[in-house]
């Protein structure tokens, strides 16, 4: 996908809408579009800087909004937290999974939509466990399993969100590009 003005405007709108969606109160745990955005950016954007920027800009914007809400007593969730940079780095890694989608088709997108949240779940929760975050589970194999168990609601929400938002992003792109080609013919 070559970046022209309308695509840049679309990406900026996507970043803003995803950031606003992420701060909706009472949304299901882990149900956010950012993993799908990382996959889409990695698979579809030829300019790698934009591919990495797509989910990171949106996450940073929503984190800033969370922080404003938190400081004004409107949210229990603080926007900026210890380990946040690690989370951003993990999302950059998820963009690399998008780069591995050589041919964009249903099977490849579905496989990446399963792999990315699984990798994120395994790595992020290992880091939470090893750093003593979360519920500060003991540094034993049982403690690690307990940490993963604690995070299962986020994982299931993340799997569902990645499937839904990948369908929206990749399917929407396919539909719009088909329509564009048909109108040019």
Name the residue ranges covered by the structural domains of the chain. 5-184
CB-based contacts of 67, cutoff 8 Å, min separation 6: 78, 79, 80
CA distance 20 to 63: 10
Per-residue pLDDT of the chain (185 residues; tens, 9 = 90+): 666 677 778 888 889 999 999 988 888 989 999 999 999 999 999 889 989 999 999 999 999 999 999 999 999 989 998 889 999 999 999 999 999 999 999 999 999 999 999 999 999 999 999 999 888 999 999 999 999 999 999 999 999 999 999 999 999 888 888 777 776 66
CA distance 147 to 32: 21
The whole-model pTM stands at: 0.90
- How big is the CA angle at 18 (ends 14 and 23), to the nearest 5 degrees? 155
Q: Helix, strand, or coil here: 32?
A: coil
């007593």: which residue's tokens?
73
**C-alpha 22 chain-centroid distance:** 10
**CATH class entry, domain 5-184:** mainly alpha
C-alpha R_g of the chain: 17
Contact between 35 and 159 (Cβ < 8 Å): no
Contact between 63 and 124 (Cβ < 8 Å): no
CB-based contacts of 109, cutoff 8 Å, min separation 6: 39, 43, 101, 166, 170
């Amino acid at each position: 996908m070559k970046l022209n003005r309308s695509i840049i405007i679309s990406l900026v709108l996507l970043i803003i809408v995803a950031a606003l969606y992420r701060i909706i109160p009472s949304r299901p745990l882990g149900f956010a579009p950012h993993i799908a955005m990382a996959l889409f950016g990695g698979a579809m954007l030829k300019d790698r800087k934009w591919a990495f920027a797509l989910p990171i800009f949106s996450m940073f914007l929503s984190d800033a909004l969370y922080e404003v809400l938190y400081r004004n007593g409107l949210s229990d969730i603080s926007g900026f937290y210890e380990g946040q940079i690690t989370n951003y780095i993990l999302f950059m890694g998820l963009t690399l999974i998008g780069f591995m989608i050589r041919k964009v088709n249903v099977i490849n997108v579905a496989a990446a939509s399963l792999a990315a949240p699984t990798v994120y779940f395994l790595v992020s929760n290992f880091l939470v466990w090893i750093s003593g975050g979360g519920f500060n589970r003991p540094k034993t194999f049982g403690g690690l399993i307990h940490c993963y168990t604690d995070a299962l609601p986020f994982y299931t929400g993340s799997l569902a969100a990645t499937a839904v938002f990948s369908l929206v992003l990749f399917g929407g792109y396919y539909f719009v590009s088909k329509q564009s080609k048909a109108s040019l013919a």
